[in-house]
Amino acid sequence: MKRIFIAARSNPEHMAELFRSELPAHEVFTQQPQPGDAPVPYIVVGRPTPGVIAAVPGLELVLSLNAGIEHLLASGEVPDHLPIVRLVDDGLADGMSDWVLAHALAWHRNLATYADLQAKREWAPQQEKLARERTVAVLGAGALGSQVAGHFVRFGFKTRVWSRSGRPIDGATSFAGRPALMDAVSGADILVNLLPMTSETANVVDATVLNALAKGAFFINGARGGHVVDADLIDALDRGQVSGAALDVFRTEPLPAADPLWSHPKVLLSPHVAAPTHAHTAVAEMAENIRRFERGEKLPHLVDRTLGY
């Protein structure tokens, strides 16, 4: 009987129950196994407690509870020979799509402005544009970026997508690699960041990128705080170059109470909830990956340690 160790920090028993119904022939447990125990080929883990992974005997595959795995690589907790599968499931992609589109459409249709005007009992129609008159630039064309970009296309926005390889998205214009970054963002009204956190993508949203956007553009960050130079963003907001920002992720989480982003009038904050892991969709995907692994099939979404995602 193959064994699966659920090392999730939040509600591991619930996840174990879901695994048991997906894979009834496997032994699923939540207690830390010890060296010398029977082999445990699979671990399901988000942010590992130091030493947890190393203590698992006979590990063959690491199933990440998150789409972003930079913390797993940076921690050095996963030995080089062990494959890591990122979490890619429709729960994450649908969650991120809702969150990004909610902010983009609210900005596009001036909802915050009308809320302010309502509070003052002011009847003041704003200049209303059509989606087709707005340009959106999405950084990242992966599991999340490609779905989000597809929604923007369907709403009628002029949509650009920037990725390492220039991955094509129906109805959008694709841009490949660092030399094309400025072409991708120049004049965009909405900038959406859905990149993975790697040495190449750190600090990518800086003054140069923000200044290249259309005057008064809106910025949406659903990826990682380390992608953004916060001082450059605050400066761009203060100058009106960027008219607002929706931020779900931060360099330090929870965001420290003294951070100026908390009180910035043009910033909308959420506590890293854009696309939380939903146990039922995540377990279905991870169980399918275990079946694929046991059939000797190639696993989708294996982390490439050289690229860092």
Query: In the complex, which residues of this chain contact ligand NAP (CB under 6 A)?
Result: 67-68, 88, 92, 96, 140-145, 162-165, 167, 194-198, 200-201, 222-224, 248-249, 272, 274-275, 309
Q: What is the number of H-type helices and E-type strands within the chain? A: 9, 12
13 phi and psi, to 5 degrees? -65, -40
Tokens of 274: 């854009």
Amino acid at 286: M
Report the residue number whose CB is nearest to ligand NAP.
142
CA angle in degrees (0–180, nearest 5) for 16-5-301: 90
Least distance to ligand NAP, CB of residue 34, Å = 32
Nearer to ligand NAP, 33 or 66 (CB): 66
Per residue in 29-43, is it b (16+ CB within 10 Å) or e — as a string?
bbeebeeeeeebbbb
Nearer to ligand NAP, 92 or 267 (CB): 92
Nearer to ligand NAP, 23 or 67 (CB): 67
Amino acid at 74: A
> Is residue 194 a contact partner of residue 206, using CB atoms and an 8 Å limit?
no
Least distance to ligand NAP, CB of residue 176, Å = 7
Contacts of 26 by beta carbon, 8 Å cutoff, 6+ apart? 1, 2, 3, 4, 19, 20, 290
Kindly list the catalytic residues: 224, 272
Least distance to ligand NAP, CB of residue 305, Å = 13
Nearer to ligand NAP, 213 or 223 (CB): 223
Nearer to ligand NAP, 198 or 241 (CB): 198
Least distance to ligand NAP, CB of residue 25, Å = 30
> Is residue 6 a contact partner of residue 12, using CB atoms and an 8 Å limit?
yes
Q: Edge-to-edge strand order for the sheet containing 42-45?
A: 27-29, 3-6, 42-45, 61-64, 84-85
Distance CA 65, CA 5 (A): 13
Least distance to ligand NAP, CB of residue 40, Å = 26
> Is residue 198 a contact partner of residue 184, using CB atoms and an 8 Å limit?
no
Nearer to ligand NAP, 144 or 210 (CB): 144
> Is residue 104 a contact partner of residue 220, using CB atoms and an 8 Å limit?
yes
Least distance to ligand NAP, CB of residue 246, Å = 11
Tokens of 120: 């003052």
